[in-house]
């Protein structure tokens, strides 16, 4: 099956706060720690999410492997309990990128119970407890029934959920005790089962050694194991006795023998379907609830003049010194390097979030400038344009929001003026949701490159988000040449949002550069 570009989340707002990633540790031992970036968790199709994870090696293993950290962008199927890797990035001890690699053909990896993969999957998907209790209860009931049949010939105490040990193991290891059934999300790191990989791949591939110039050196053979889970460094694997299976389990204290009930007496619980949360365009996906309770607007008592007073976390809207948008004047004319856009056809999800029309796209669309590569996350529209050029405003503007691996933001602003109809925008308008806060993922792709002007010249300056929380340190690039929309296309957006633009902010003598 050919690879399909993924949908990304509506939860990602018109822009993201330019802060460090929220890395949450899933498991840690003396050789490495495995973490997930909570801020990177993005909703795609209902039941599917994408997120960045990483393995941070110990100093000893990093020296041997040739890198200190490897990040992986994974797609998680929350309904079917599996995931696949989209992209990997290798970094040195100073967090500098050694090399990047995109997965040419994604491999679906099943999430095994009590594995590190399950810890990552739980952190991303946040499954309702009832769903997991149902699955565990079903497994426990089946195991209890099988054990009862076996006990007809054996007079001894039995456990409800237990699996047979491999032939070369003397004792069996419990898969889940009664406490795990009651609290399925409580998986202490010292009780997590860690396996080596088979021919598939998990969070990262079997850790390669990098040779000169960051190129992979010949990899050592990897011992195959029954289930694909995050890899243990090869140096650690080599210490296992040759006769032992490639499964490392922490000692598990057996609980008091539970009471075994007949499977037929307990009705099988019905699975609870996860609810897809609809998010607003708040520029701060980690504070969606706050934005729903604290209403902000473009006019009236909750308009831009009061954003900084509505919430203490938004005080930068009042006190910031590098706020956006600005009236771009007196730019220094220099030979700016062209922006390298690498946009490809992608499916999309469109959302009318109460502040704008926002379009989320899948990974694989990138933009490179000033030595950094940014992933396009989403784009949205304002009317009239928030930016002004030497005092001149435009009918509309499209903001293309990008984010790099360190969480830095870069926004490309494409000015819009009245003219001929634009086919890509017409595709978007054709698929507008009927109600606010409802989203729609049509079965037609778009190519965001068609929203870019022909001329590569642009203005650039450092600014901020243009809605609460007005976080600064955002790289802005405003394309000089506008694109055109028809009067009818502009009127469609105007009907939804007659005015959704923040007023221009003081430039405070910021440096503005302009292409010659």
pLDDT in tens, 315-354: 999 999 999 999 999 899 999 999 999 999 999 999 999 9
Task: Determine the Cα–Cα distance for residues 78 and 95; give it in Å rounded to an integer.
Answer: 30
Residues contacting residue 88 through CB under 8 Å, at least 6 positions apart:
70, 71, 72, 73, 100, 101, 103, 204, 205
Task: Determine the Cα–Cα distance for residues 504 and 466; give it in Å rounded to an integer.
Answer: 10
Q: Which spans in 223-323 are helix H?
A: 234-237, 288-293, 307-310, 316-319
pLDDT digits (tens, 9 = 90+) for 348-386: 999 999 999 999 998 889 999 999 999 999 999 999 999
pLDDT bracket for residue 69 (50, 70, 90): very high
* DSSP secondary structure of 53-85: EEEEE-HHHHHHHT-SEEEEEEEEETTTTEEEE
Residue-level pLDDT at 500:
97
Residue-level pLDDT at 483:
98
Strands (E), 385-437: 388-389, 396-403, 409-418
- Other CB atoms within a 10 A radius of the CB of residue 449 amount to 13
pTM exceeds 0.75 for this model = no
Both tokens of 121, joined, read 């999957």
Residue-level pLDDT at 296:
95
pLDDT at 451 over 90: yes
Q: Which position has the higher pLDDT, 284 or 341?
A: 341
Residue-level pLDDT at 143:
59
Task: Determine the Cα–Cα distance for residues 354 and 287; give it in Å rounded to an integer.
Answer: 16
pLDDT at 182 over 60: no
Task: Determine the Cα–Cα distance for residues 483 and 453; give it in Å rounded to an integer.
Answer: 6
Lowest mean pLDDT among 29-33, 49-53, 221-225: 221-225
- CATH architecture type of domain 285-515: Roll (3.10)
pLDDT at 414 over 80: yes
- What is the dihedral sign for C-alpha 109, 111, 116, 120? positive
Residue pointed to by tokens 């041997």: 64
Residue-level pLDDT at 315:
95
Lowest mean pLDDT among 77-91, 187-201, 409-423: 187-201
Mean pLDDT in residue range 465-485: 97
Q: What percent of the chain has pLDDT over 90?
A: 45
Q: Which position has the higher pLDDT, 29 or 136?
A: 29
pLDDT bracket for residue 150 (50, 70, 90): low
pLDDT at 204 over 80: no
Residue-level pLDDT at 481:
97
pLDDT at 427 over 90: yes
Q: Do 23-127+185-248 and 285-515 fold alike per CATH?
A: no
> Residue 346 in contact with residue 377, Cβ under 8 Å?
no
Mean pLDDT in residue range 171-193: 37
Mean pLDDT in residue range 419-433: 97
CA angle 126, 128, 130 (to 5 degrees): 150
Strands 357-361 and 348-352: antiparallel
pLDDT bracket for residue 397 (50, 70, 90): very high
Residue pointed to by tokens 């926002």: 358
User: Would you tell me the crossing angle of helices 423-430 and 487-496 to the nearest 10 degrees?
Assistant: 40
Q: Rounded to a whole number, what is the distance in angstroms from the first to the last CA of the chain?
A: 47
Is 380 a residue of the active site?
A: no
- What is the dihedral sign for C-alpha 282, 286, 289, 295? negative
Residue-level pLDDT at 75:
87
pLDDT at 476 over 90: yes
**Residue 270 DSSP SS3:** coil
Q: Where are the domains of the chain?
A: 23-127+185-248, 129-166+252-279, 285-515
pLDDT bracket for residue 28 (50, 70, 90): confident
The CATH superfamily label for domain 23-127+185-248 reads: Surface-adhesin protein E (2.40.128.710)
Nearest to 487 by CA among 430, 422, 424, 403: 422
Lowest mean pLDDT among 7-16, 48-57, 214-223, 453-462: 7-16
pLDDT digits (tens, 9 = 90+) for 82-136: 999 988 989 888 888 888 887 877 788 988 887 888 889 888 888 765 444 445 4
Spot the catalytic one: 291, 355, 402, 422: 355
Residue-level pLDDT at 115:
84
* H or E segment and range at residue 411: strand 409-418
Give me the chain's average pLDDT, please: 75
């Amino acid at each position: 099956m050919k690879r399909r570009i993924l949908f990304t989340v509506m939860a990602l707002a018109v822009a993201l706060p330019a802060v460090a990633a929220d890395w949450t540790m899933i498991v840690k031992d003396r050789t490495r720690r495995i973490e997930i970036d909570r801020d990177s968790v993005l909703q795609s199709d209902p039941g599917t999410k994408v997120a960045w994870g990483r393995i941070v090696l110990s100093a000893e293993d990093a020296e041997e492997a040739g890198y200190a950290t490897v990040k992986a962008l994974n797609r998680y199927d929350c309904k079917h309990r599996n995931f696949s890797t989209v992209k990997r990035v290798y970094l040195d001890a100073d967090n500098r990128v050694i090399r990047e690699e995109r997965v040419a053909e994604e491999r679906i990896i099943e999430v095994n119970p009590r594995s590190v993969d399950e810890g990552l999957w739980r952190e991303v998907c946040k499954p309702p407890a009832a769903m997991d209790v149902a699955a565990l209860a079903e497994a426990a009931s089946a195991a209890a029934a099988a054990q009862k049949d076996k006990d007809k010939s054996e007079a001894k105490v039995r456990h409800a959920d237990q699996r047979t040990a491999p032939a070369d193991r003397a004792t069996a290891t419990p898969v889940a005790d009664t406490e795990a059934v009651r609290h399925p999300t409580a998986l202490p790191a010292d009780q997590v089962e860690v396996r080596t990989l088979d021919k598939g791949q998990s969070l990262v591939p079997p850790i390669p050694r990098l040779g000169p110039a960051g190129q992979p050196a010949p990899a050592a053979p990897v011992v195959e194991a029954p289930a694909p889970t995050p890899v243990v460094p090869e140096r650690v694997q080599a210490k296992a006795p040759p006769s032992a299976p490639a499964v490392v389990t922490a000692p598990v204290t057996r609980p008091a023998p539970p009471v075994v009930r007949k499977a037929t007496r307990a009705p099988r619980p019905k699975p609870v379907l996860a609810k897809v949360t609809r998010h607003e365009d708040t520029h701060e996906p980690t504070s969606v609830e706050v934005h729903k309770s604290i209403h902000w607007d473009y006019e009236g008592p909750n308009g831009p003049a009061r954003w900084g007073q509505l919430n203490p976390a938004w005080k930068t809207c009042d006190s910031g010194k590098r706020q956006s948008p600005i009236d771009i004047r007196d730019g220094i004319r220099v030979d700016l390097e062209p922006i390298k856009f690498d946009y490809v056809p992608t499916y999309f999800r469109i959302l009318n979030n109460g502040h704008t029309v926002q379009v989320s796209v899948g990974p694989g669309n990138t933009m490179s400038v000033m030595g950094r590569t940014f992933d396009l996350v989403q784009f949205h529209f304002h009317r009239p344009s928030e930016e002004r050029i030497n005092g001149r405003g435009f009918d509309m503007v499209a903001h293309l929001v990008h984010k790099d691996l360190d969480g830095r933001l870069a926004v490309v602003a494409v000015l819009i003026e009245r003219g001929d109809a634009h086919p890509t925008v017409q595709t978007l308008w054709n698929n507008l949701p009927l109600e606010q806060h409802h989203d729609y993922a049509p079965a037609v792709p778009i190519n965001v490159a068609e929203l870019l002007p022909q001329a590569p010249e642009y203005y650039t300056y450092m600014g901020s988000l243009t809605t609460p929380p007005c976080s600064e340190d955002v790289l802005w690039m405003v394309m000089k040449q506008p694109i055109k929309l028809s009067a009818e296309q502009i009127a469609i957006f105007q009907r939804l949002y007659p005015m959704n633009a923040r007023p221009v902010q003081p430039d405070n003598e910021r440096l503005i550069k302009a292409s010659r």
